Amino acid sequence: MSEELRVLAVEAAQRGAAVCLRQLGEPVSAETKTAAGDVVTAVDRSAEEAVRAVLLSARPDDSVLGEELAEHVGAGPLQWVIDPLDGTTNFTRRIPYFATSVAVRTVADGRWLAGAVSAPALGMTWSAAKNLGAIVDSGDGRERLPLPHVATTARLVGTGLSYDPGHRRRQLRELGALMTEYTDMRRFGAAAVDLCLVAQGSLDAFVEDDLGVHDWAAGALIAEEAGAEVRRPAGRDGGVSARWS
């Protein structure tokens, strides 16, 4: 069943990502949500509608928790968690690190079963199914994760910053302690993509402590199935980390 759910997650994520890519560079209006820098566009909502159409057409009884639209509560055993446009600021600035993220978990105990992250401007879709490993599809075909890399002494950590100014100041104060284990840092602006970069071994770690479940749901499972050590928050929102030992 997990593999079937992975295939559906990939289809839904790619459908949402296609909506985003068609609108890239087109004039869109952006609104501020919770704080300065936290923006949403009509593209976010259109992409979520496209994702939901795929999921509910295939599994009409399942629940759907998205970032932009009201939660759909179904009577089925599964809940889908959607981030239709992770990296909205990147999208509005034509920075290619944005993606549509789709994951699914059981309602009864919250076990994550499958997930997919599609980054259309990068031409990459990462996905995973519980206990079946993780893969990436790109112009080079399909590869299992992690990918082979040139051996070097570099150790790279990815992170992100909160929209809340006070929280952001604290994160910056703590950055020095985080960097003692790493030689450099990367900041791509899309947590789902960052977690997939850990999964493929491009980043040695990703750490961020102010995320919603839609930000990390699929990426965390993909990193975990690739073999990285993943820590999720105890509640619905909070911090997440993924590391290679």
What residues form the annotated binding site for Mg(2+)? 67, 83, 85-86, 215
Q: How far apart are CA 226 and CA 243, in angstroms?
A: 11
Contacts of 173 by beta carbon, 8 Å cutoff, 6+ apart: none
- Binding site, by residue number, is 67, 83, 85-86, 215
Contacts of 15 by beta carbon, 8 Å cutoff, 6+ apart: 50, 51, 53, 54
In the chain, the amino acid numbered 232 is R
CA atoms within 13 A on the CB side of 74: 17
Greatest distance between any 2 Cα atoms in the chain = 51
Q: How far apart are CA 199 and CA 4, in angstroms?
A: 21
Q: How far apart are CA 213 and CA 192, in angstroms?
A: 11
Q: How far apart are CA 219 and CA 143, in angstroms?
A: 17
Task: Please report, for residues 29, 172, 190, 202, the alpha-carbon distance to residue 186 in angstroms, rounded to integers and kept in the order given.
Answer: 29, 14, 11, 10
Residue pair 222/131 in contact by the 8 Å Cβ criterion: no
Collapse the DSSP code of 217 into the 3-class scheme (helix H, G, I; strand E, B; otherwise coil) and give the result.
helix
